[in-house]
Amino acid sequence: MYPNFYYIFKDWFGIELNGLHLINSFGFFVAVSFVLANLIMTKELKRKFKDGILGKGQEIKYWEGKPFSKSDYITAAITGFILGFKFLPILLDFSITKNDPQSFILSSQGNFAYGIIFMTLMLGFNYWQDKKQRLNQPIEKSRLVDPSYYMSSITMAAFVGGILGSKLFHILENLSDFRANPMEAIMSFSGLTFYGGLIVGGGAVLYIARKRNIKILHMLDVGAPAMMLAYGTGRIGCHVSGDGDWGIVNEAPKPNWMSFLPDWFWSYDYPNNVNSVGVPIEGCMAEQHCNHLVPPVFPTPMYEAIVCVILFLILWQLRKKIKYAGLMFGIYLILNGLERFLIEKIRVNTIMDFLGMKLTQAEIISFSLMIFGLALVVFALKKKIPVKIEHNVA
């Protein structure tokens, strides 16, 4: 396992760069997931706009040659100071992280002088850029944009809402850990729950879409394939880092029909996992992450990654064949809920007492999503809101 890029470079290239501890493997795949989701949703918004179902676009006005605002300079100053105060010391002395970069980043430690120097440089660069583009008489212009123009704000809303939601749901699922150490539970880079991110992040996206006059059902349909793929790539990060989202103990012999697959695909011990869970690995020389699981478990993150990529391909093929708005998202909810509900049977998770039944939070939510997805499919078939405007040819 590779908790961060330090371990990847050490294992693959024999290079030890302590600064690479900053690049968390799970975080890297989360970033990849957001990039892929952005690309897919942008493509789908452009397609739906071309099909005539997202209106005629919006006219936006802007000033060419207008001086930078005070907020632009304040943002540059704050960004420069943080980069100098926190990250420049790490680049100049990798040992400062002591194999625990998160603690250093979240602490009050840093170099004030570097912060001031970098802030000055950022302000100077901002001033140069301002002078370069400024006109004696700023010109007001306008242009027509399609809904994909707003994908940057939509992606940011999804990111912020997703992180906050996933952290909130993780805390609710593990209240005892939160009570024991609330600050660690809040500030820790681990402990993220997918469904919390889906619900809160999805709500944030719909809020932005509504403000930009993008129809909600169409926005949901646009996001369905993207969210399925993002979940799959995110699960690769869970597997690579060994973040604890693995399965239950599996000591059964590998079935004959899986003989062509590597042994770890059936049962895996997650060596060097990021949470340092398990027993010490004999001969491990690293200062951190020297544990592995005994006995081994089902590698459920990899199972989910494969299944969700396949489901994404199915949704991607269906997207142009579906006739009614909301139907795509309804199908996504059913498939996503079913996949997660089934994987919970072999996945480690916190058991909750729900109406006298022993269930996990994910089982409750995934079952609810399947019901909601079925209701949305029925609604879409009944309302028959078209997903493409047919143009009459004279």
Report pLDDT for 171.
74
Q: Is residue 388 part of a domain?
A: no
pLDDT band at 124 (very low <50, low <70, confident <90, very high): very high
On the question of pLDDT at 393 being above 50, the answer is no
Helix/strand/coil percentages in the chain, nearest 5: 60, 10, 30
162-177 residue pLDDT tens:
878 877 776 776 666 6
Closest to 361 in 3D by CA, of 166, 184, 188: 166
Are residues 153 and 139 located together in one domain of the fold?
no
Average pLDDT score over residue span 364-374: 92
On the question of pLDDT at 103 being above 70, the answer is no
Q: Is residue 184 part of a domain?
A: yes
Q: Is residue 130 part of a domain?
A: yes
pLDDT band at 394 (very low <50, low <70, confident <90, very high): very low
Please indicate whether residue 14 or residue 93 has the higher confidence score (pLDDT): 14
Average pLDDT score over residue span 117-139: 94
Q: Which of these three, 143, 158, 190, is where a domain ends?
A: 143
- Which contacts of 77-82 are long-range, i.e. CB under 8 A and separated by 24 or more positions? 77/119, 77/122, 77/123, 78/119, 79/122, 80/115, 80/118, 80/119, 80/120, 80/121, 80/122, 80/123, 81/115, 81/116, 81/118, 81/119, 82/115
Q: Which of these three, 143, 167, 190, is where a domain ends?
A: 143
Domains: count for the chain? 2
Are residues 220 and 292 located together in one domain of the fold?
yes
Are residues 158 and 139 located together in one domain of the fold?
no
Are residues 265 and 195 located together in one domain of the fold?
yes
Are residues 157 and 281 located together in one domain of the fold?
yes
Please indicate whether residue 362 or residue 354 has the higher confidence score (pLDDT): 362
Averaged confidence pLDDT in the chain = 85
Are residues 215 and 307 located together in one domain of the fold?
yes
Are residues 47 and 157 located together in one domain of the fold?
yes
Instruction: Give this prediction's pTM.
Output: 0.81
Q: Which of these three, 143, 175, 194, is where a domain ends?
A: 143
Are residues 153 and 184 located together in one domain of the fold?
yes
Are residues 314 and 354 located together in one domain of the fold?
yes
Report pLDDT for 98.
57
Q: Is residue 304 part of a domain?
A: yes
Average pLDDT score over residue span 207-218: 88
Joined together, the tokens standing for residue 322 give 């579906």
Average pLDDT score over residue span 207-224: 90
Provide the residue range defining the domain that includes 101: 63-143
Are residues 214 and 306 located together in one domain of the fold?
yes
Q: Is residue 392 part of a domain?
A: no
Q: Is residue 389 part of a domain?
A: no
Report pLDDT for 80.
92
Are residues 272 and 360 located together in one domain of the fold?
yes
